[in-house]
Amino acid sequence: MGKRTVPAVYQVGKVLSYLAKGPNFKVKLTDIARDLGFHKSRVYYILNTLREFGLVEKDPSTKAYSLGPALIFMGEKVLENLDYRRKAEPFLKELARFTGCTAFLGKVSEGRIYVVAKEYADDGVKITIPLGYRFPLSYGALGKIMLAFGDEELKKVLLEEERLRLWVERVNLEEELSRFREQGYAEDLREVDVRFSSVAAPILDPARKVFGMVFIVGTFDELTAHFYGPHVASTAKELSKVICGSF
């Protein structure tokens, strides 16, 4: 905990973050207290206070806690005021129209990739990933982009992730990362989910760090992935200019 923090507020933040990032949507009080290392009574009072604001709900039958509906409105307010969501809209619409896939804008934040904008094709596959959904940095084509364009420290962390490690064992890693950098995009051909393929490209800030990603999800094959790839990459380059001021 930093020096300029309020302990009580810090604990509230930890509880909310735990509920948001945990593997289970509903969690028992004892599990929250144990995993965070907080006293049960402290967690109980925090949860009861959050319930007053609709930030947390309690299931009366299981006594388990989950994030509350008030956060939906807060999240929508944040998304409405993200300037880059508005800027990305015409680019994502054109990408969705061209590919017939669902096109997404992901923002890298706090070790996750958050879906902050999406556009569907008029005719094509509609992938119903909700706004605000969080992908791990190691997920599919997104993870490959982070490996190829992230720094060495991040690369070491990602290579410990099982999702990427299984892929790394089957390929020549440096050759693949070099290919991704050269072509400007990475593909996942039904590796993470046998139903879908994806192509992702990085949005880079002026320091050449990954600000976010443009990615499409559909049911295409390898040949089609490499046909779509340059269009995904060019969209990401345009958004690097529009959103981040990169050239």
The pLDDT value recorded for residue 39 is 94
Q: How many separate domains does the chain show? A: 2
Is 234 a domain residue?
yes
pLDDT tens-digit profile of 79-95?
A: 665 678 888 999 999 99
- Please determine, for residue 26, whether its predicted confidence score (pLDDT) is greater than 60: yes
Domain shared by 222 and 114, yes or no: yes
What order do you get walking across the sheet with 134-136 strand by strand? 134-136, 112-119, 102-109, 210-218, 197-204, 186-189
Domain shared by 165 and 223, yes or no: yes
The pLDDT value recorded for residue 84 is 81
Domain shared by 57 and 121, yes or no: no
Is 2 a domain residue?
no
Domain shared by 65 and 89, yes or no: no
Across the chain, mean pLDDT equals 90
CATH number at residue 46: 1.10.10.10
Show the beta-strand stretches assigned E in the chain.
27-28, 56-58, 64-67, 102-109, 112-119, 134-136, 186-189, 197-204, 210-218
What order do you get walking across the sheet with 27-28 strand by strand? 27-28, 64-67, 56-58
Winning range, highest mean pLDDT, from 107-111, 128-132, 207-211: 207-211
Higher pLDDT, 221 or 71: 221
pTM of the model: 0.72
Domain shared by 124 and 148, yes or no: yes
End-to-end, the C-alpha distance of the chain in Å comes to: 38
Confidence of residue 47 (pLDDT cuts 50, 70, 90): very high
CA 212/CA 201 separation, integer angstroms: 9
Residues 53-60 have a mean pLDDT of 90
- Please determine, for residue 44, whether its predicted confidence score (pLDDT) is greater than 80: yes
CA 184/CA 215 separation, integer angstroms: 12
Q: Which domain holds residue 149?
A: 82-244
Confidence of residue 69 (pLDDT cuts 50, 70, 90): confident
DSSP code, position 165: H
Higher pLDDT, 163 or 170: 170
- Please determine, for residue 228, whether its predicted confidence score (pLDDT) is greater than 90: yes
- Please determine, for residue 217, whether its predicted confidence score (pLDDT) is greater than 60: yes
The pLDDT value recorded for residue 136 is 92
Instruction: Identify the domain boundary among 46, 72, 98.
Output: 72
Residues 139-160 have a mean pLDDT of 93
Is 77 a domain residue?
no
Higher pLDDT, 130 or 76: 130
The pLDDT value recorded for residue 3 is 58
Domain shared by 193 and 240, yes or no: yes
Domain shared by 35 and 102, yes or no: no
